[in-house]
Amino acid sequence: MSSSRLTSGRALLPALLSCLALVPAMAGAATHLEVLADDGEVLVRQPMPEGEGWCLAWNHSVAGFPVLDCYRHRRGHMVLVRSHQPDFAAGLGHVPGRGRQTSDGRGGYWIEDIDEPVPGDRYRLRVGSLEVDHRLVTATRKVSLSRLAAHEPVTIRLHDEPAVASP
């Protein structure tokens, strides 16, 4: 190895070591569920630790009953895990090979074990009117997206925010 290459390698060592010093702080990165308007404004921001879940709920536009698509944070990714549908109304139904259908005991059904990763850990939604009332539901919170952005497109995403390294 030439002495100039060795010298330049030694010059990079302090920079590399300071980058590595950030790794433990970055490991504490927080993951959030976010709803973004088209202009990038954050409409909803909710901590979403590994293993936690949420549902997107709405009232079916024809039949009016509530429908749920439920997701979970799994190993840094957004995964559709189950869906609740109170009946086989327009646009609803179980697709063979995509989860398994079980009764909810009240005339409707759950599609369980869908376990479908959401591409890019985000999806677009055109939020419905207050009659449709798209809602984001977590264990601790229910937010009406229709009150925030009726008739507007939004992006729902699972987003890692690196922890800020302390000096």
Encoded tokens for 161:
């925010």
Tokens of 99: 């989860």
Q: What is the pLDDT of residues 4-43, one digit of tens each?
A: 433 333 343 333 333 333 333 334 579 999 999 999 999 9
User: How many residues does the structure list for the chain?
Assistant: 167
Q: Which long-range contacts (CB under 8 A, 24 or more apart) does 55-60 make?
A: 55/136, 55/137, 56/125, 56/134, 56/135, 56/136, 56/137, 56/156, 57/134, 57/135, 57/136, 57/137, 58/128, 58/132, 58/133, 58/134, 58/135, 59/131, 59/132, 59/133, 60/89, 60/90, 60/91, 60/92
**Any bridge partners for residue 71, and if so which?**
54, 80
Per-residue pLDDT of the chain (167 residues; tens, 9 = 90+): 444 433 333 343 333 333 333 333 334 579 999 999 999 999 999 999 999 999 999 998 777 788 999 999 999 999 999 999 876 655 555 566 677 888 888 878 888 999 999 999 999 999 999 999 999 999 999 999 999 999 999 999 999 987 665 55
Rg (CA), the chain: 22
Amino acid found at 113 = D
